[in-house]
């Protein structure tokens, strides 16, 4: 057998390669799905953690306005 001859064909090897490609494709699909889910979860978590900070910022701004009002009065 001449392995450099591109006309050489081994059905078993071809089937093995095809199965390996199918497995890799399946793994890639699962990793892509998991990555998308984790990305969305991270976005939700970030939003939940930012919300209280935004409320604190609004409260502090109101306190600053009140202090400014008292100083100017």
- The domain total for the chain is 1
Distance between CA atoms of residues 11 and 70, nearest Å: 88
What's the pLDDT score for residue 55?
A: 87
Residue 37 confidence class, pLDDT cut points 50, 70, 90: very high
Ranges 6-10, 12-16, 18-22, 43-47: which has the least confidence: 6-10
Mean pLDDT in residue range 37-50: 94
Residue 22 belongs to domain spanning: 13-73
Is residue 2 one of the residues assigned to a domain? no
Please state the length of the chain. 73
2: alpha, beta or left? (left if phi > 0; alpha if psi -120 to 50): beta
Is residue 6 one of the residues assigned to a domain? no
């Amino acid at each position: 057998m001449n392995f450099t001859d591109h006309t050489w064909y081994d059905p078993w090897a071809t089937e093995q390669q095809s199965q390996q490609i199918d497995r890799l494709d399946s793994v890639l699909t699962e990793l892509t799905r998991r990555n998308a889910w984790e990305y969305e979860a991270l976005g939700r978590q970030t939003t939940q953690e930012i919300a209280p900070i935004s409320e604190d910022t609004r409260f502090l701004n109101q306190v600053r306005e009140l202090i400014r009002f008292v100083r100017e009065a």
